[in-house]
């Protein structure tokens, strides 16, 4: 091979790099079959080179150095494409085939050494440019290893500690990109975390500074020992599992929140940025809140949730639901809803213990004082206090056993909304004969139960809502409105104590009507349904519903059975969706909406088809692009490219369009205009790099399999995207319930409306016999 290039920046020569020669018995490939790439040298000269795609990158660089008469060792050099992406053995063949222009550049070791040296000099003129290069190179594993081995992390931390403005923004972005690796940053200490917290909480910080700072905190929260991909050293019930020395999975919620508590205004600042005009800033803030909610530990759970409620984060998210930036935040908002389902379920299953928890005692004391009643004694000398508010007994732990702290919070909120009204209603009920009194407290708890049933608050980590639920996020407000409805129905119907179950059924019917199509209804419509409706109209509609409804389904044991089957059905569908990802599927490579809306001429891509498959470790999506579909073998041998699941921050749907003349050739795919987004499209988005992939599924089922399967794989998500998946979970639950009930009805087993536990044993002198 000969080189025609010279030291001129405009010279163009030609050369050939092959894997063998006639001398060793191998026949060089025909030049007509080997693509030609332009390779630019360090001096700016360009040589047209035919490269054998079977070679390694090291072999290509070695022969380039030989033919260009470069005296330095070939290990000092590397190849990059025209976008500065490093050429590796994994992508070399692809770049040769596509005739991508290449550049002979310094090797990663040389680049890393130079950047570390420039960082240590702190020269203001070169620092910003150095950091700009660093934030690109640090994503490359080869460069990152060299950078870390030269103590580059310490230099980067020093830059972060003393700089501000755009220089700080570049440094934080470089740190954010470094933290995408699962190693190398385990030495970050509390001082660094607190520095990031200070940066984020400062009102003087620029948006481009706050974005990477927020992402860094999110990454630290998720670097929890429980998320460690490798085996842990030890695990005890008293603390988190230990991780091997050097593991970055040593932080988590506790490490971050302890530093956040030192800067009291931080959480308030993060919540306020949900309303930022900058879409990316709102997205980053939403993702940080979701990560904190997903990873909060038991020690700080009450404190953290109380602080979020105080800052009214739900209201901020409801505003996002109707904002103009909603397309970029849909997945994050559904994640937030799923997290609030978990919070609500935990509150519902947390016992009310006024003798143990001061907060519970304080809430009950506030309710009692607001009633303006005084304690009484009955004929037997027992204290009558809580029974006058509508409880069945004075045992509050038992009274709240089904609704837990959620029920206590709802009752307290109902009182706090209008203490004078509450006192007036209580006194009015006390003045009536006992059998005619409306049990206000029991009514409040029943409303909590039926709202939990309506919104499927069955288990932590499960949510089948595919649409926004602003009324669910307004749980207390809906509860107060429904409780007012209950009181009004009681009075208008002249009910007595025996009618309690009937009024509960009326309330359930009307609540379901008022909360229907929640994602498109306005709040004033809900108020109208619950405030202005007449008793007779509600009763007539409910009677019609009862004709088509089995009374058995409303009994407490059956509702509990449905909850159990719901969890099992959700997990079954989740596993099925992930199995679909493991099998793999063909998709069309789509055009992002931002591109399809331009006036540029959009040409049919040379490789419009992509096959994707999830690896068995559930960490990477492997894929191959092709001009035509072909039989893909099992395993990953045919899939040279890959996308890391951990990088996917959102699965956006319906946001990209098909390339021209691709779908037209396949009648089994939905026909849409090249500039019209396809309803079967989805994009895999990162928090800072844009889209990793834009695909169009061949049909609705495949779209549901992949969008929901990918969502279910993410650490901070528990929601589903498609109505199809939500429908499967619901159908499996109902089928399982009917099968169980058929077993009971066949045996003519009477199902009670409720179960009452008997008194506890007098001593421990007993044992449980084995069932034969």
For residue 751, is pLDDT > 60? no
Boundary of a domain, candidates 549, 580, 604:
549
Instruction: Please tell me the distance from the alpha carbon of residue 40 to that of residue 11, in angstroms, as a whole number.
Output: 10
Higher-pLDDT residue of 564, 268: 268
Asked whether the predicted pLDDT for residue 8 surpasses 50, the reply is no
The CATH number of whichever domain residue 698 belongs to comes to 2.30.29.30
Q: Answer yes or no: are the C-beta atoms of 587 and 695 closer than 8 Å.
A: yes
Give yes or no for residue 23 having a pLDDT over 60: no
User: Quick one: pLDDT at residue 692?
Assistant: 86
DSSP code, position 552: G
Are both 100 and 124 inside the same structural domain? no
Greater confidence (363 vs 663) lies with 363
- Rounded mean pLDDT, 436-461: 88
Please give, one letter per residue, the 3-state secondary structure of 226-274.
Answer: HHCCCCCCEEECCEEEECCCCCCCCCHHHHHHHHHCCCCCHHHHHHHHH
Write down the pLDDT at residue 180: 87
Please name which of 260, 242, 278 lies closest in space to residue 200, comparing C-alpha atoms. 260
pLDDT of amino acid 2:
35
- Residue 371 has a pLDDT of 92
Q: Which of 112-126, 195-209, 306-320 has the highest mean pLDDT?
A: 306-320
Q: Categorize the per-residue pLDDT at 255 as very low, low, confident or very high, splitting at 50, 70 and 90.
A: very high
64 with 17: CB under 8 angstroms?
A: yes
pLDDT of residue 240: 58
Report the C-alpha gap between 705 and 46 in whole angstroms: 48
Pairing of strands 12-17, 46-51: parallel
| 749 within some domain | no
Is 1's pLDDT higher than 50?
no
Reported pTM: 0.74
pLDDT at 638: 87
Handedness of CA 571, 573, 576, 580 (dihedral sign): negative
* pLDDT over 70 at 15, yes or no: no
- Cβ–Cβ under 8 Å, residues 681 and 691: no
pLDDT at 39 over 90: no
**CA–CA distance, 94 with 87 (Å, rounded to integer):** 10
The answer to whether residues 158 and 285 belong to one domain is yes
Given a cut of 80, is residue 464 above it in pLDDT? no
Residue 194 has a pLDDT of: 95
pLDDT score of 49: 82
> Could you tell me if 305 and 364 lie in one domain?
no
Place of tokens 């079954």: 572
The pLDDT value recorded for residue 363 is 95
Residue at 692 is within a domain:
yes
Is the pLDDT assigned to residue 237 strictly greater than 80? Answer: no
Between the two ends of the chain, the Cα-to-Cα distance in Å is 86
Whether 435 and 390 map to the same domain: the answer is yes
Same domain, 130 and 256: yes
User: Strand locations in 379-461, DSSP E?
Assistant: 383-384
How many whole angstroms separate alpha carbon 664 and alpha carbon 499? 64
Band (130; pLDDT cuts 50, 70, 90): very high
Asked if residue 746 belongs to a domain, the reply is no
Q: Which whole number is the average pLDDT over 175-180? A: 92
Provide mean pLDDT across the span 190-196: 95
Helix (H) or strand (E) holding 304: helix 301-310
Tell me whether residue 231 is in a domain: no
Where among 73, 106, 139 does a domain terminate?
106
Q: Is the dihedral of CA 133, 135, 139, 144 positive or negative?
A: positive
Within 10 angstroms of residue 576's Cβ, the number of other Cβ atoms is 14
Which of residues 510 and 378 earns the better pLDDT score?
510
CA separation (Å) from 450 to 332, 493, 514? 27, 21, 13
Q: Would the pLDDT of 21 be above 50?
A: no
Task: Check whether residue 293 and residue 208 sit in a common domain.
Answer: yes
Cβ–Cβ under 8 Å, residues 422 and 303: no
| pLDDT beyond 70 at 594 | no
Of 59-63, 645-649, 678-682, which gets the smallest average pLDDT? 645-649
510-553 pLDDT, tens digit each: 999 999 888 888 999 999 999 988 888 888 887 776 655 555 56
Query: What whole-number distance in Å separates Cα of residue 37 and Cα of residue 50?
Result: 6
pLDDT(27) > 50: no
Whichever domain contains 65, its CATH number is 3.10.20.90
pLDDT at 411 over 90: yes
Read off the pLDDT of each residue in 332-360 and give the average, rounded to a whole number: 92
Phi, psi (degrees; rounded to nearest 5) at 39: -115, 120
* pLDDT recorded at residue 353: 94
User: How far is residue 182 from each of residues 144, 287, 319, measured CA to CA in Å?
Assistant: 11, 20, 36
**What pLDDT sits at residue 553?**
60
The answer for residues whose C-beta is within 8 angstroms of residue 565's C-beta and 6 or more apart is: 732, 733, 736, 737, 740
Question: What does the pLDDT look like over 671-681, one tens digit per residue?
Answer: 555 567 888 88
Q: Which range among 347-356, 531-540, 696-705 shows the weakest confidence by mean pLDDT?
A: 531-540
For 17, the enclosing helix (H) or strand (E) is: strand 12-17
CA distance 330 to 317: 11
Place 566 in a pLDDT band, splitting at 50, 70 and 90.
Answer: confident
Q: Is the pLDDT of residue 63 over 60?
A: yes
The answer on pLDDT for 741 being more than 80 is no
Statement: residue 772 has pLDDT above 70:
no
For residue 77, which of 131, 149, 66 has the smallest C-alpha distance? 66
- Residue scoring higher pLDDT (140 or 323): 140
Q: Supply the pLDDT for residue 757.
A: 60
Rounded Cα–Cα distance for residues 274 and 316 (Å): 7
Please check whether residue 573 is in contact with residue 728, taking contact to mean a CB–CB distance below 8 angstroms.
Answer: yes
Those residues whose C-beta lies under 8 Å from the C-beta of residue 389, and which sit 6 or more positions away, are 367, 368, 371, 373, 426, 440, 441
User: Residue 258 is part of a domain; what is its CATH number?
Assistant: 1.25.10.10
Does some domain include residue 731? no
- For CA atoms 305, 308, 310, 315, give the dihedral sign: negative
Are 728 and 735 contacting, i.e. CB atoms less than 8 angstroms apart? no
According to DSSP, residue 55 is labeled: S
pLDDT tens track for 65-75? 888 888 889 88
Q: Phi and psi dihedrals of 621, rounded to 5?
A: -100, 115
pLDDT, average across residues 28-35: 48
Bigger pLDDT: 3 vs 182: 182
Question: Where does the pLDDT of residue 688 fall: very low under 50, low under 70, confident under 90, or very high at 90 and above?
Answer: low
- 144 and 75 share one domain: no
pLDDT of 330 higher than 60: yes
Task: Count the neighbouring beta carbons within 10 Å of the beta carbon of residue 425.
Answer: 18
Same domain, 477 and 622: no
Partner residues linked to 684 by β-bridges? 651, 693
Q: Is residue 3 part of a domain?
A: no
Q: Which of 81, 106, 131 is the last residue of a domain?
A: 106
Average pLDDT on 23-34 reads 44
Measured at the CA of 449, the angle between CA 319 and CA 565, to 5 degrees, comes to 100
Its domain, for residue 306, covers 114-225+250-341
Same domain, 305 and 367: no
Q: For the chain, what is the domain count? A: 4
Q: Which contacts qualify for 400-403: CB closer than 8 Å, 24 or more apart?
A: 400/351, 400/352, 400/445, 401/351, 402/445, 402/449, 403/348, 403/445, 403/448, 403/449, 403/452
In this structure, the answer to whether residues 443 and 574 fall within a common structural domain is no
Adjacency order of strands within the sheet including 46-51:
12-17, 46-51, 36-40, 102-106, 77-81
- Whether 580 is in a domain gets the answer yes
pLDDT band at 743 (very low <50, low <70, confident <90, very high): low
Indicate if the pLDDT at residue 4 is higher than 50: no
Given the DSSP bridges, would you call strands 102-106 and 77-81 parallel, antiparallel or unpaired? antiparallel
Residue 583 to residue 680: CA distance in whole angstroms: 19
Average pLDDT, the chain: 82
* pLDDT value, residue 233: 47
CB-facing half-sphere around the CA of 268: CA atoms within 13 A: 8
Query: Do both 190 and 314 map to the same domain?
Result: yes
Q: Are residues 690 and 708 in the same domain?
A: yes
Radius of gyration of the chain, Cα coordinates, nearest whole angstrom = 32
**What are the pLDDT digits (tens) for 486-503?**
999 999 888 888 889 889
Q: How many angstroms from the chain centroid is the CA of residue 707?
A: 13
Task: Characterize 697-716 residue by residue with b for buried, 16 or more Cβ atoms within 10 angstroms of its Cβ, and e for exposed.
Answer: bbeeebbbbbbbbbbbbbeb
Name the token pair of 407: 């029920």
Q: Which two tokens stand for residue 539?
A: 């009763």
Task: State the average pLDDT over residues 557-580.
Answer: 82
Percentage of the chain beyond pLDDT 90 is: 38
Sheet holding 641-644, edge to edge: 641-644, 620-626, 609-614, 585-589, 691-696, 681-685, 650-653
Please give the pLDDT value at position 406.
Answer: 96
- Identify whether the C-beta of residue 22 lies closer than 8 Å to the C-beta of residue 28: yes
**CA angle 477-481-486, nearest 5°?**
145
Whether 420 is covered by a domain: the verdict is: yes
State what percent of residues in the chain have pLDDT above 70.
83
């Amino acid at each position: 091979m000969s080189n025609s290039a010279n030291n001129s920046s405009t010279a163009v020569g030609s050369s050939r790099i092959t894997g063998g020669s006639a001398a060793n018995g191998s026949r060089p490939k025909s030049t007509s079959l080997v693509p030609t790439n332009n390779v630019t040298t360090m001096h700016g000269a360009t040589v047209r080179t035919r490269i054998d795609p079977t070679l390694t990158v090291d072999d290509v660089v070695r022969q380039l150095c030989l033919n260009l008469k470069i005296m330095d060792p070939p290990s000092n050099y590397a190849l990059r494409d025209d976008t500065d992406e490093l050429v590796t053995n994994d992508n070399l063949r692809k770049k040769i085939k596509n005739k991508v222009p290449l550049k002979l550049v310094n090797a990663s070791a040389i680049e890393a050494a130079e950047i570390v040296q420039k960082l240590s000099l702190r020269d203001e003129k070169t620092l910003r440019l150095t950091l700009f290069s660093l934030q690109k190179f640090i994503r490359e594993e080869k460069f990152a290893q060299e950078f870390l081995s030269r103590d580059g992390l310490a230099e980067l931390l020093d830059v972060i500690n003393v700089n501000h403005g755009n220089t700080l923004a570049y440094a934080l972005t470089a740190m954010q990109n470094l933290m995408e690796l699962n190693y190398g940053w385990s030495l970050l200490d509390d001082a660094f975390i607190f520095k990031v917290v200070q940066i984020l909480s400062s009102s003087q910080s620029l948006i481009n500074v706050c974005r990477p700072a927020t992402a860094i905190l999110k990454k630290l929260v998720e670097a929890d020992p429980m998320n460690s991909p490798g085996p842990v050293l030890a695990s005890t019930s008293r603390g988190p599992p230990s991780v091997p020395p050097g593991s970055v999975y040593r932080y988590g919620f506790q490490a971050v929140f302890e530093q956040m508590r030192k800067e009291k205004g931080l959480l308030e600042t993060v919540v306020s940025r949900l309303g930022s005009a900058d879409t990316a800033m709102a997205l980053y803030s939403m993702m940080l809140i979701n990560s904190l909610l997903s990873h909060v530990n038991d020690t700080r759970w009450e404190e953290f949730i109380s602080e979020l409620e105080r800052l009214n984060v739900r209201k901020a998210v409801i505003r996002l639901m109707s904002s103009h930036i909603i397309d970029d935040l849909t997945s994050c908002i559904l994640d937030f809803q799923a997290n609030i389902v978990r919070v609500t379920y935990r509150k519902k299953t947390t016992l009310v213990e006024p003798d143990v928890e001061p907060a519970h005692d304080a809430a009950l004391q506030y309710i009692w004082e607001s009633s303006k009643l005084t304690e009484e004694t009955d004929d037997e000398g027992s204290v009558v206090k809580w029974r006058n508010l509508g409880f069945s007994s004075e045992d509050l732990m038992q009274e709240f056993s089904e609704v837990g702290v959620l029920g206590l919070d709802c009752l307290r909120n109902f009182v706090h909304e209008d203490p004078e009204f509450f006192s007036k209603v209580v006194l009015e009920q006390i003045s009536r004969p006992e059998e005619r009194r409306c049990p206000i407290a029991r009514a409040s708890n029943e409303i909590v139960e039926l709202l939990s049933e309506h919104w499927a608050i069955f288990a932590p980590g499960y949510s089948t809502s595919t649409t926004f639920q602003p009324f669910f996020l307004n749980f207390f407000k809906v509860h107060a409105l429904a409780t007012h409805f209950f009181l009004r129905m009681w009075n208008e119907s002249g009910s007595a104590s025996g009618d309690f179950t009937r009024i509960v059924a009326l309330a359930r019917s009307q609540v379901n009507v008022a909360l229907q199509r929640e994602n498109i209804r306005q709040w004033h419509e809900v108020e109208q349904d619950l405030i202005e409706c007449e008793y007779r109209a509600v009763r007539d509609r409910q009677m019609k519903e009862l004709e088509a409804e089995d009374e058995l389904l409303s009994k407490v044991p059956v509702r509990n059975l449905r909850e159990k089957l719901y969890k099992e059905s959700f997990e079954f569908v989740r596993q099925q969706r992930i199995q679909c990802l493991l099998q793999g599927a063909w998709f069309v490579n789509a055009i992002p909406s931002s591109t399809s809306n331009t006036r540029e001429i959009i040409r049919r891509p040379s490789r419009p088809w992509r096959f994707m498959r999830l690896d068995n470790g559930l960490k990477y999506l492997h894929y191959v692009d092709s001009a035509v579909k072909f039989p893909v073998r099992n395993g990953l041998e045919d899939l040279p490219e890959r996308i890391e699941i951990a990088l996917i921050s959102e699965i956006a749907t319906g946001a990209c369009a098909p390339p021209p003349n691709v779908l037209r050739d396949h009648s089994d795919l939905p026909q849409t205009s090249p500039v019209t987004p396809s309803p079967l499209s989805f994009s895999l988005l990162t928090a800072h790099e844009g889209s990793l992939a834009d695909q169009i599924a061949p049909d609705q089922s495949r779209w549901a399999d992949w969008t929901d399967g990918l969502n279910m794989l993410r650490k901070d998500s528990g929601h589903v995207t498609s109505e199809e998946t939500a429908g499967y979970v619901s159908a499996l639950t109902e089928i399982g319930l009917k099968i169980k009930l058929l077993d009971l009805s066949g045996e003519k087993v009477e199902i009670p409306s409720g179960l009452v536990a008997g008194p506890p044993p007098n001593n421990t002198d007993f044992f449980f016999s084995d069932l034969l």
